[in-house]
């Protein structure tokens, strides 16, 4: 029996056009859970949370890419065709505070401006509190979407506070992961920004008229997210898209695989009882060592082709190396599944023993490239987000804590 901890914000605020002080206060790269017993592949409900602390106002100053993206998500074609239930909320404040915006995309779009964003406590934000609310909403056949600038509000307390906030993020994700299946999609986008940037590392603000990054987190059952939010949709339909990462529990998706004679150098025979056991193996007579290809079906994995075919994402033992990952040019016979890729491995040493090849879920390099520990050049900085690596590290560690296996897929071949 699971104990479900539900976050209930202290107050639901109504929108108003009153003035508020503009200072924010201190806030409180790919893994898959497949434990859900439900075969549901249709979203029952979508809840979208928009951070509307005053640091976000610059994104809704005019017809920006941010406005276009929110509008697209609110009226995603599948949601319209399937009459998907929708709930929209603004979220801000230290608790945090939710402001209901209703269930109609037309109402939400009319509030994507300075006046519409002046709801709740715009002077404060609590990123971990926002995560907690959005994570608890994403259960069963419901998904949640959180849109924010992804900046921890540490109130000028120094970099040690970033570590503390990152650990708190990890805790929020661990608590939710223990309740069942959860995939997280993290998307980096950029948009026109004309407004005040509020420093996280020190008091004060500065006016910016430039482009700035922001982030979308989508939470929900893996089957639902992989169906409704493909890489093609995210990169092709969300204006200002830059890059993305998917976080899933490692080792829980079973990827079919089988040794083949494709790209062969040397010779071997298949064991009569086990196709992934090779017998009578001999190295190539012309000095090319021993080489063969492993057929795999990656159709179940929600990762881009660039990730699947990058040899740097593979670990291999026993003196072998992965030399290529390519789609087959022809049908691979005697393989009882659809082969999407051929992983070619080779060794110039003794080929015998147990070969293990793993597809690793490495932290996407864009996260480190986006992170910064300084805000000194923020007025001209169009790329970096203060403290992003601490936030993302917390998410990654939460998923890794759910399994001892740190790999997306593992392939084992016995060679005798």
The least confident of 10-19, 120-129, 294-303, 335-344 is 10-19
Tell me the pLDDT of the chain averaged across its residues.
88
81-104: average pLDDT: 96
Question: 169-182 pLDDT, tens per residue?
Answer: 999 999 999 888 89
Question: 321-335 pLDDT, tens per residue?
Answer: 999 999 999 999 899
The least confident of 37-41, 200-204, 361-365, 383-387 is 37-41
Question: 356-390 pLDDT, tens per residue?
Answer: 999 987 778 899 999 998 999 999 999 999 999 99
Tell me: pLDDT of 94 over 80.
yes
Q: Which percentage of the chain shows pLDDT scores above 70? A: 88
160 or 21: whose pLDDT is higher? 160
233-239: average pLDDT: 97
Question: 216-229 pLDDT, tens per residue?
Answer: 999 999 889 989 99
CA 154, 179, 4: angle at the middle one, nearest 5? 80
- Following CA atoms 120, 125, 126, 127 in sequence, which dihedral angle do they give, to the nearest 10 degrees? 110
Tell me: pLDDT of 156 over 80.
no
Structure confidence at residue 233 as a pLDDT band (50, 70, 90): very high
The least confident of 23-27, 204-208, 403-407 is 23-27
Domain extents in the chain: 45-250+363-406, 257-360
Which long-range contacts does 380-385 make (Cβ < 8 Å, 24+ apart)? 380/210, 382/190, 382/210, 382/211, 382/212, 382/213, 383/213, 384/213, 385/149, 385/150, 385/151, 385/213, 385/215
Q: What is the pLDDT of residue 19?
A: 37
Structure confidence at residue 24 as a pLDDT band (50, 70, 90): very low
Structure confidence at residue 41 as a pLDDT band (50, 70, 90): confident
């Amino acid at each position: 029996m699971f104990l479900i901890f539900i976050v209930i914000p202290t107050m639901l605020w109504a929108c108003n056009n009153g003035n508020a002080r503009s200072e924010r206060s201190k806030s409180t790269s790919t893994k898959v859970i497949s434990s859900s017993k439900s075969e549901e592949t249709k979203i029952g409900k979508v809840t979208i949370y928009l951070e509307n602390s005053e640091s976000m106002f610059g994104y809704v100053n005019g017809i920006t890419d941010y406005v276009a993206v929110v509008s697209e998500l609110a009226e995603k074609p599948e949601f319209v065709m399937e009459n998907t239930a929708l709930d929209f909320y603004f979220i801000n404040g230290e608790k945090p505070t939710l402001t209901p915006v209703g269930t109609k995309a037309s109402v939400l779009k009319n509030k994507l401006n300075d006046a519409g964003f002046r709801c709740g406590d715009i002077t404060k934000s609590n990123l971990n509190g926002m995560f907690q609310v959005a994570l608890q909403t994403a259960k069963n056949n419901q998904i949640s979407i959180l849109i924010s600038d992804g900046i921890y509000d540490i109130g000028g307390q120094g970099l040690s506070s970033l570590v503390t906030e990152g650990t708190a993020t990890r805790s929020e994700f661990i608590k939710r992961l223990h309740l069942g299946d959860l995939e997280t999609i993290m998307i980096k986008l950029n948009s026109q920004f004309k407004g005040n940037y509020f420093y996280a590392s020190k008091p004060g603000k500065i006016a910016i008229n430039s482009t700035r990054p922001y982030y979308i987190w989508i939470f929900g059952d893996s089957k639902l997210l992989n169906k409704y939010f493909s890489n093609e949709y995210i990169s092709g339909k969300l204006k200002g898209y830059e890059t993305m990462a998917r976080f899933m529990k490692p080792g829980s998706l079973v990827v079919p695989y089988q040794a083949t004679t494709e790209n062969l150098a040397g010779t071997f025979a298949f064991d009569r009882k086990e196709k992934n056991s090779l017998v009578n193996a001999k190295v190539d007579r012309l000095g090319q060592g021993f080489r063969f290809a492993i057929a795999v079906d990656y159709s179940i994995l929600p990762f881009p082709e660039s990730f699947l075919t990058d040899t740097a994402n593979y670990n291999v033992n026993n003196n072998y190396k992965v030399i290529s990952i390519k789609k087959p040019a022809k049908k691979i016979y005697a393989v009882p599944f659809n082969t999407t890729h051929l992983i070619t491995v080779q060794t110039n040493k003794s080929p015998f023993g147990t070969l293990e090849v793993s597809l690793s879920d490495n932290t996407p390099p864009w996260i480190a490239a986006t992170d910064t520990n300084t805000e000194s050049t923020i007025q001209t900085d169009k790329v970096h987000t203060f403290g992003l690596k601490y936030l993302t590290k917390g998410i990654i560690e939460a998923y890794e804590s759910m399994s001892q296996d740190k790999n997306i897929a593992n392939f084992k071949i016995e060679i005798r």
